[in-house]
Structure formats: C-alpha cells, structure tokens
Structure 1
Amino acid sequence: MSRARRGRGSLGLSPQKSSGCWGLAAVTSPFLPCLLPLSLRWPPSPRLRLPSLFRNMAFVTRHFIRAMASSSTASASAKKIVVKHVTVIGGGLMGSGIAQVAAVTGHTVVLVDQTEDILAKSKKGIEESLKRVAKKKFAEDPKAGGEFVAKTLSSILTSTDAASVVHSTDLVVEAIVEDLKVKNELFKRLDKFAAEHTIFASNTSSLQITSIANATTRQDRFAGLHFFNPVPMMKLVEVIKTPMTSQKTFESLMDFSKALGKHPISCKDTPGFVVNHLLLPFLMNAIQLYERGDASKEDIDIGLKLGAGHPMGPFELLDYVGLDTIKFIIEGWHEMDPQNPYFQPSESLNKLVAEKKFGKKTGEGFYKYK
C-alpha cells in the first residue's frame, strides 16, 4: 500500500504530519489549526512529559473555547430582524395601503412624502379605508369600530424629511414613482442616515431590484417587497431576493409579510417577478388581438371572465392598473428584450396615453367611466 502523501491540505485520517501538525486535528475541527506543538506530534517524542502535555491541552482548549464564542457571536448577529418600526416612502395609493396594513397589525409606521398637503390627503384616504373596514368588522359595535380607527391612525406618523426618521427604523419600504434614477437618489441618501440593521425594500413592480440596490452600501440588506393594489385587500406579497440579499434579510421580510396577514411568495430578481412576468404578456397579447381586429375588447373581456373565471377582463384590468403605468413598464422591458413579441409598442395604448386617458383614474381609457 502506498503511503499517503504528506503536506498542506492533506485530509488523511492516519496519524501523519499535515503542515507540521497531526493531520487528524485539521480534519476534526476548523477551530484547531496547527496548534499542537512538538510534544503532541506523531510519533511521540521520547522527551514527552505529562506536565507539558497538560499545558498543551490547556492551550488548545482555551483557543477552542474562544473560537466557539466568536462563532456564537457571529451566529447571533446573523439572526433575523423582527420588524416593529416601518418607514414607508411615498404617500400614494400603494404607500398609503402599505402604511395602513402595517399599522393595523401593530407596527409603528412613519409615512413620508414631499409635502404636508400630500400627507394630509394620504392620511385622509387611510382613515376612509379604515372606516370601511371597521363598518364590516365591527358591525355590531360601532364604538369599538371608532376606537379601532382612532388607534390605527395614531400608529401612523408623518414626515416630509425621510433622512430624519430612518435612523431608528427596522424597515424602509419605498413606494414612489417607477423611475430608476429617482429611486437610486433616494436610497443613496437614506443609506447615509439609516441604522446599520435597517433593511431597505422597494415596492417596484417592474424595475430590477439589483439596479436599485446598487446605489447603496447595504446590498445584503436590500430586497424587493412587491404588494398588490388595493393593498388592504390583496393577500399576495412578492419577496424578491437578489444574488446579494442575505438569507437573514430574506427571512425577515417573509416573516414581516406574514405578520401583515399576507401570503408571501419568493422570486429571484427576474423581470416582472412572478405575477407581472406572466400578466404583462397576457395583457399585451389581448391588445394585439384587439388591434388586429380578431375580436372586440368587450368580447375579449367577456371571454376571459366567463371562459376562464377571471374576475376582470384584460381591458378592464388595463384600465384599473393605469395605461400610463402599463406603457412605462412595457417600454422598459422592450429595451431589455427588443425581440420579444409581447413587448412591442402598441398603437392604441400609445394613443390613449398621449391623450391623457390613463384608465379608471382619469375617467377614460379603453372604456369610459362616470
């Protein structure tokens, strides 16, 4: 039998030299680098003395204990963050909805936007939404419903200065305009003021999370947290993990989503994530079917509702989401994948957006609304 090769990196279990120490020690534990002195080498030195052996064993034991303590400290620092304090940037429909569900579930919330007027409208919208919830939830006890509304509203603070409030928050959720440059500028600024443990998350529905996270120095504490409109009603949340997102951050956001009463699903940083990756081509295919004259928009909607059980037809959904939003997303995806047949410019979509007919929010899109 050939003798095992000696030298650095040997993993043989026979008593041998491995970089000057007993090979078994290197295999047994990563905490025991070549610590064993001459008196513990193999074969034993004829000069071996019992006191020397005890001293060497004590030295190794102390090193092992220190290494284990260091490992425990590192493990503790890798524990998940329990999100209690949330800062929501953007008082629009999505931001207000996120703030509402966070407050309802017992989180302290700071809602941030550019002006006090915007924040006042946001707070009023949240109050009206809470009253609708209370009317159903506390139908037999209006007083309890009023207390529910008041208590929830008191949990939502407002500010026009994001930098001054993120120093004590556990999570920042951004829900502003779908513009990469604007998002990058925001997160780059907040990165300087936020606490070390603070997680950053974007509610973007179309932009690459990695591209947004690149503006910060905390890419391991950055992920996507995509809610669906209307936030208080829709149960789904997509948690987007980039190649740099730590497992601790990912698990913290999954737990936070569940604490909101949502059902989180995970996805890599792929265009559109799960839902929009499938939904946008479907909607654009419906537009192309209509533009070719193969079917009317009314019949396409009826077909999907009665034939596939969809609650809304594709053109109803387009108007509900906002044609300007759809156009913006498709143009971005077209730049990334210009050969994709579903990401091609749409004449009817472009015309409606140019006429400021964005859908339900403006009173007219593919359909007219009173």
Structure 2
Amino acid sequence: MTVPAVVGVYGGGRMGAGIAHAFAVAGSAVTVVENDEPAAAAARARVEKSLAKSAELGAAAGGTVSVVTDPAALASATLVVEAVPELVEIKHAVLAAITRSAPDAVIGTNTSSLSIDALASALPDPSVLIGLHFFNPVPASGLVEVVVGARTAPALVGQAQEWVRGLGKHAITVQDSPGFASSRLGVAIALEAMRMVEEGVAGAEDIDNAMTLGYRHPVGPLRTTDIVGLDVRLAIAEHLERELGPRFAPPQVLRDKVAAGHLGRKTGEGFYRW
C-alpha cells in the first residue's frame, strides 16, 4: 500500500468528505473529525453517498470511514489532513488540536492559498506540515498540489508524492508562495472573466465556452467559480491582492454577488442559476 494505513481528516465538509473518500477507496482506514454530532451526521451522509456512487461505478472502497466528534480518535493516524475553512485562526486552532491528539502524525493542510510557513508557525515542529491541496470534486479530480514550506522536512516531500500516486492522482510540487500555482492561475483567469461580464463584453456562458471549446478547459472559469463558491473566490482574491498587488483586486460584480448572498451552486445562483 502506498497510502497510509490509518488516515485522519479534520473537517467533513465537501472537501473533507472527498478526501476521506479518496483515501478509503485507496485502502486506508479513515477517521473524520467534526465539531458536533449534527455536523458529523452530515459528513457521514456525504461520505456514504459518495462511496455508494463510487461502488456503482466499480470502484468500491478497500478501506473504511468513521466520523467522530472527538479528536482523540486521531491518535493512531500516520497522516492527518485538515480541511477546514480558509481562515488562519481556524486552521491554527485545528492544527493545534491535531498536534495534541496525534503528536506523531504528519499533517497535511488542504489550504488553497494560505502560506504553509504561516500555518506551520502554530506547530511545535513545523517540519511535519506539508500542503496537500486537493481539488473539488476530489473523487473525480486527477490533481493534488503538494506545497513545500521552508521548514517542511525534505523526506516528507517524496512521501507525500508517493501518497498522491497511491490515490491514483498526479502530484505537482510547488514552493510555498501566495496562491501556489493552481489558485494563482485559476483566480487570475476567473477575475478577468468577471471583469468581462462587468464590462458587458459577453455573457457568462459565452465567456466560459471560449475557454472550454477554444482552450479545452473542462469547465469554464465562471462555472468553476460557482462550483467553488463566490465567497471562497472572493476571500482568495483578497488574500492575493494583499500579497501580490492590485492585479488580483476583486471586481465589483464579485463583491456585489457575495453581498447579495449569490454564492454559486450552494445557494442556487451565482454567475449561473442552478
């Protein structure tokens, strides 16, 4: 087995459930930690639905998934992946909880844009933290971005790449920098697409078709924004603007839609109606 036998996932939302699914299909015994029983029940339902669909397609899980509310259940995990919201203070609190519960585990952070070094500052041993940036939807995505911090143990990089291969996915390896490679490029394209909508250059569907039919992107930048969540895209853009300057300034149309509660697929409306 090229994936860890025992894996923890802290956070059972869409991304956390998808990560749990991927490791379970690869044969790991996965424990998902949520904050309370209602959240745990929702996470359990997500994972069970995902695994059932996978089994129907001929990819039955070789491992198991349990969902709990007590982080102490992570004690035997070799790897714990945090998959909580993109807020430094939340991630710091979760990383501290993981360290207390699984002091011998390697920790992967699923952040899509936050600095690995900044997150590692919350750990007594920063060398055990590495970025494992999965993509939504995790079960169908073929990519994981392995992000290397300044203090990440060199041996951990190769180990993480092997784990990604064990999941049947392709690893790209980047150094810690604002937005890494994927978010930086993806957000840049999406923000320009939004400006085109704002300026009346074309409608959302035509702009997306330019990329899917003209450049063979599987999904257009505006539909992808709806899937990811406009609030998530706004937070990443604001972070990149602070780090890299005004070229990542969020367009007003994005701010307006978020303020109106039009966050994409999860609310039924964004740049598209769902």
Matches within 5 A, 1:337-356: 337-338=244-245, 340-341=246-247, 343-356=248-261
Alpha-carbon distance in structure 1 between the residues aligned to 2:227 and 2:214: 21
Matched-pair contact (CA < 8 Å) for 2:80–2:98: no
Compute the displacement of 1:116 (Å).
1.7
Residue of 137, 142, 154 corresponding to 1:235: 142
Q: Is 1:121 aligned to residue 29 of structure 2? A: no
Q: Tell me, which stretches of 5 or more residues in structure 2 are unaligned?
A: none
Residue of 148, 171, 183 corresponding to 2:79: 171
Q: Is 1:159 aligned to residue 68 of structure 2? A: yes
Shift in alpha-carbon separation, 1:256–1:215, aligned structure 2, 3 A: same
Q: Secondary structure of 1:165's match?
A: helix
Compute the displacement of 1:368 (Å).
1.2
Compute the displacement of 1:365 (Å).
0.6
Paired residue for 2:103? 195
Shift in alpha-carbon separation, 1:309–1:193, aligned structure 2, 3 A: closer
Q: Which whole-Å deviations, capped at 9, do the CAs of 1:175-211 have from their partners, x for residues lacking one?
A: 0011001111221233233233x10110010111111
Compute the displacement of 1:306 (Å).
2.0
Paired residue for 2:162? 255
Alpha-carbon distance in structure 1 between the residues aligned to 2:83 and 2:99: 16
Alpha-carbon distance in structure 2 between the residues aligned to 1:314 and 1:193: 39
Q: Is 1:316 aligned to residue 237 of structure 2? A: no
Alpha-carbon distance in structure 2 between the residues aligned to 1:306 and 1:193: 48
User: When the two structures are superposed, what TM-score results if normalisation uses the length of structure 2?
Assistant: 0.94
Q: Which whole-Å deviations, capped at 9, do the CAs of 1:343-364 have from their partners, x for residues lacking one?
A: 1131111111111110111110
* Range with greater deviation from structure 2 (288-297 or 272-281): 288-297
Aligned residue type for 1:260: L
Q: Is 1:135 aligned to residue 56 of structure 2? A: yes
Residue of 244, 247, 251 corresponding to 2:151: 244
Paired residue for 2:207? 300
Q: Secondary structure of 2:146's match?
A: strand
Aligned residue type for 2:13: G
Compute the displacement of 1:136 (Å).
2.2
Matched-pair contact (CA < 8 Å) for 2:147–2:180: yes
Shift in alpha-carbon separation, 1:104–1:298, aligned structure 2, 3 A: closer
Aligned residue type for 1:159: V
Matched-pair contact (CA < 8 Å) for 1:168–1:194: yes
Alignment length, in residue pairs? 273
Shift in alpha-carbon separation, 1:136–1:167, aligned structure 2, 3 A: closer
Paired residue for 1:75? none
Aligned residue type for 1:113: E
Q: Which whole-Å deviations, capped at 9, do the CAs of 1:313-344 have from their partners, x for residues lacking one?
A: 22211111110110111111112233x32x11
Moved over 6 A (4+): none
Q: Which whole-Å deviations, capped at 9, do the CAs of 1:242-276 have from their partners, x for residues lacking one?
A: 11111121122111111111111111001221211
Q: Which whole-Å deviations, capped at 9, do the CAs of 1:285-338 have from their partners, x for residues lacking one?
A: 111122222333232122222222222222211111110110111111112233
Q: Secondary structure of 1:362's match?
A: coil
Matches within 5 A, 1:102-117: 102-117=23-38
Matched-pair contact (CA < 8 Å) for 1:169–1:195: no
Alpha-carbon distance in structure 2 between the residues aligned to 1:297 and 1:252: 41
Alpha-carbon distance in structure 2 between the residues aligned to 1:297 and 1:214: 41
Matches within 5 A, 1:215-294: 215-294=122-201
Q: Secondary structure of 2:130's match?
A: strand
Q: Which whole-Å deviations, capped at 9, do the CAs of 1:62-118 have from their partners, x for residues lacking one?
A: xxxxxxxxxxxxxxxxxxx97221110000011001111111111111100011222
Aligned residue type for 2:76: S
Q: Secondary structure of 1:192's match?
A: helix
User: When the two structures are superposed, what TM-score results if normalisation uses the length of structure 1?
Assistant: 0.70
Matched-pair contact (CA < 8 Å) for 2:3–2:166: no
Paired residue for 1:143? none
Alpha-carbon distance in structure 1 between the residues aligned to 2:84 and 2:209: 34
Alignment identity in percent? 36
From the CA coordinates, give the structure whose radius of gyration is larger.
1
Matched-pair contact (CA < 8 Å) for 1:112–1:161: yes
Matched-pair contact (CA < 8 Å) for 2:9–2:82: yes
Paired residue for 1:213? 120
